[in-house]
Amino acid sequence: MLEDVVAVEEPLEIRIAGDTMAVTMRTPGHDHELVLGFLLSEGIIRARDEVGSIAHCGRPGESGNVIDVRSAPGHVIDWEPGGAVRRATLVTSACGVCGRRSIDDLLARAGQVQDGARFTAQWIARLTEQLVPRQANFALSGGVHAAALWDAAGQLYALREDVGRHNAVDKVLGRAALDGRLPAIGMALVVSGRASFELVQKAAMAGVSMLVSVSAPSSLAVEAARRSCLTLVAFARGERFNVYAGEQRITGLAQ
């Protein structure tokens, strides 16, 4: 009999001041980063200093899968429908009528990514190649996604893996928030899956300059990236990639 390694997937209940806000399926680990990145990238909070504490809690036996967020003194995390700040409705492939409204909402909350960052085509072509050997969990199980942030100096800043690609992104953005590195000006976010609207939204909310995807982008992702002035690169495999938005940040492109 042969043994096989499978990716771990468990629920994480996110509570705000004791009240359940959401439940997400994730790979345990870096939960504080995941929750903070989620709150920021969904526009529930605007800055790290609005949060006073993020701690695991719950009844005996469930504490590892329940996390509670408390606001910092002088701040209120208002996530109820109709409140000053609430979770944005995520657009999926099943939602065809709310796309433009979602982009308008994104621009209203995040604004446009305005910076003087520049990336060389040669460096971009190497990013996904550098991502693969660092995916330790994927090498064992083949069942997780990866997201990584490269800094303005071209060095790997943070990499996280998770069964959910959105969770992997939230984890690296949460790490940057904890380190005081948001907005992520001049940084590149690299993801192992496709580029969806949700990932463009998270990148724009974090002020990331460029999103690089191994796979295909969606039409809504392309439109959102163009309108938010985010550089969007997809099908980044080997020495080739396609640029769908923000090409002004890339130098050395073939004509």
Does residue 16 carry a pLDDT above 70? yes
Q: Which residue has the tokens 């940057």?
A: 176
Which CATH topology does 119-251 take? Cytidine Deaminase; domain 2 (3.40.140)
145-191: pLDDT as tens digits: 899 999 988 899 999 999 999 999 999 999 999 999 999 999 999 99
226-241, pLDDT tens digit by residue? 999 999 999 998 889 9
Average predicted confidence (pLDDT) for the chain: 85
Catalytic residue among 57, 95, 98, 229: 95
Q: Is 57 noted as a catalytic residue in this protein?
A: no
Q: 159: part of which helix (H) or strand (E)?
A: strand 156-162
CA dist., res. 109 & res. 88, Å (int): 10
10-90: CATH, from 3.40.50.2300, 3.40.50.300, 3.30.465.10, 3.10.20.10: 3.10.20.10
Does residue 72 register a pLDDT over 50?
A: yes
Whether residue 203 contacts residue 223, with contact meaning beta carbons closer than 8 Å, is answered with no
Decide if 10-90 and 119-251 have a common fold.
no
Query: 3-class DSSP state for residue 204?
Result: helix
**Spans of all domains in the chain:** 10-90, 119-251
pTM over 0.85: yes
